[in-house]
Amino acid sequence: MIYFDYAATTPVDPRVLDAMLPYFSEMFGNPSSVHRYGQRAEAAVDSARETVASVLNCRPDEIFFTSCGSESDNLALRGAGLAMREKTGANWLLTSRAEHHAVSKTAEQLEKHYGFQVEWLDVDESGMVYPEMVEKAICHDTAIVSVMYANNEIGTINPIREIAEICHEHGVLFHTDAVQAAAYLPVDVQSLGVDMLSLGAHKFYGPKGVGALYIRQGTPLVPSQTGGGQEFGLRAGTQNVPFIVGFAEAFRLTNEERVERTAHVKPPRDRIVGTILEEIPNSRLTGHPTDRLPNHCSFAFEGVDGNLLLTLLDAAGFACSSGSACKTGNPEPSDVLTSLGLPREWARGSLRVTLGVGTTLADVNAFLKTLPPLVEQARRLATDKHR
Ligand X SMILES: *Cc1c(COP(=O)(O)O)cnc(C)c1O
- Confirm if 352 and 296 have CB atoms less than 8 A apart: yes
**The only residue of 167, 179, 313, 371 in contact with ligand X, by rule CB under 6 A:** 179
CB closer to ligand X, 173 vs 179: 179
What does DSSP assign to residue 62? Answer: G
CB closer to ligand X, 10 vs 359: 10
CB closer to ligand X, 200 vs 349: 200
Cα-Cα end-to-end distance for the chain: 34
CB closer to ligand X, 29 vs 207: 207
**The only residue of 5, 42, 62, 177 in contact with ligand X, by rule CB under 6 A:** 177
CB closer to ligand X, 153 vs 305: 153
* Nearest alpha-carbon partner for 152 in 263, 344, 296, 313: 296
Q: Shortest Cβ distance from residue 230 to ligand X (Å)?
A: 19
Of these residues, 167, 297, 320, 326, which one is catalytic? 326
Catalytic residue flag (residue 58): no
* Nearest alpha-carbon partner for 60 in 256, 246, 244, 255: 244
Is 152 a binding residue for ligand X by CB under 6 A? The answer is yes
Is 306 a binding residue for ligand X by CB under 6 A? The answer is no
Is 348 a binding residue for ligand X by CB under 6 A? The answer is no
Burial class of residue 119 in the structure, from the number of CB atoms within 10 Å of its CB (0-12 exposed, 13-18 middle, 19+ buried): middle
**What string marks each residue from 87 to 116 as x (binds ligand X by CB under 6 A) or -?**
-------------x-x--------------
- Confirm if 347 and 307 have CB atoms less than 8 A apart: no
How would you classify residue 353: left for phi > 0, otherwise alpha for psi between -120 and 50, otherwise beta? beta
- Confirm if 208 and 68 have CB atoms less than 8 A apart: yes
Residues touching ligand X: how many (CB under 6 A)? 15
* Nearest alpha-carbon partner for 127 in 273, 336, 289, 285: 336
Is 207 a binding residue for ligand X by CB under 6 A? The answer is no
Residues of this chain that interact with ligand X (CB under 6 A) are 68-70, 73, 100, 102, 148, 152, 177, 179-180, 200, 202-203, 211
Q: Which residues are catalytic?
A: 326
